[in-house]
Amino acid sequence: MLVLEYKVKPKPQQVAAIEEAIRTSQFVRNKVLRFWMDNRGVGKAELFRYNTALRNEFEFVKDLNSHACQTAVERTLRAITRFYENCKQQKPGKKGYPKFKKHSRSVEYKVSGWKLDESTKKHITFTDKKGIGKLKLIGSRDIQYFQPEQIKRVRIVRRADGYYVQFSIKLDPRDTVKPLTPTQKAVGIDVGLKFFIADSQGNTEVVPQYYRKAEKHLNRLNRRKSNKYRKGKKPQSNNYHKARQRSAKKHLKVSRQREEFVKKVALRLIQSNDLVAYENLNVKGMVKNRRLAKSITDAGWTTFRQWLEYFADKYGKLAIAVPPHNTSQNCSNCGEKVEKSLSTRTHVCHHCRFVCDRDWNAAINILQKALYIVGRTKIYASGETSSWLVGEILLANEDSLNEESTSL
Catalog residues that contact Zn ion under the rule CB under 5 A: 331, 333-334, 349, 351-352, 354
- Residues in a beta bridge with 202: none
Which residue number, 113 or 188, has a Cβ lying nearer to Zn ion? 188
Angle, vertex CA 333, rays to CA 328 and CA 338, nearest 5:
45
Which residue number, 103 or 350, has a Cβ lying nearer to Zn ion? 350
Cβ at position 340, least distance to Zn ion in Å: 13
Angle between helices 12-38 and 66-88 (to 10 degrees): 40
Which residue number, 76 or 332, has a Cβ lying nearer to Zn ion? 332
Cβ at position 202, least distance to Zn ion in Å: 18
Cβ at position 333, least distance to Zn ion in Å: 4
Which residue number, 185 or 351, has a Cβ lying nearer to Zn ion? 351
Assess contact for 363 and 198: CB atoms under 8 A. Answer: yes
Length of the chain: 408
Distance separating alpha carbons of residues 124 and 242, to the nearest angstrom: 32
Assess contact for 144 and 100: CB atoms under 8 A. Answer: no
Burial bucket for residue 197 (CB in 10 Å: 0-12, 13-18, 19+): buried
Q: How many CB atoms lie within 10 A of CB 79?
A: 18
Q: How many CB atoms lie within 10 A of CB 308?
A: 23
Which residue number, 160 or 348, has a Cβ lying nearer to Zn ion? 348
Cβ at position 334, least distance to Zn ion in Å: 3
Cβ at position 335, least distance to Zn ion in Å: 7
Cβ at position 70, least distance to Zn ion in Å: 58
Q: How many CB atoms lie within 10 A of CB 295?
A: 16
Which residue number, 273 or 368, has a Cβ lying nearer to Zn ion? 368
Cβ at position 298, least distance to Zn ion in Å: 32
202 φ/ψ sector (left φ>0, alpha ψ -120 to 50, else beta): left
Which residue number, 276 or 338, has a Cβ lying nearer to Zn ion? 338
Which residue number, 193 or 348, has a Cβ lying nearer to Zn ion? 348
Assess contact for 130 and 24: CB atoms under 8 A. Answer: yes
Distance separating alpha carbons of residues 113 and 16, to the nearest angstrom: 18
Task: List the one residue out of 163, 167, 168, 101 whose CA is nearest residue 132.
Answer: 163
Cβ at position 365, least distance to Zn ion in Å: 11
Task: List the one residue out of 11, 18, 12, 5 whose CA is nearest residue 164.
Answer: 5
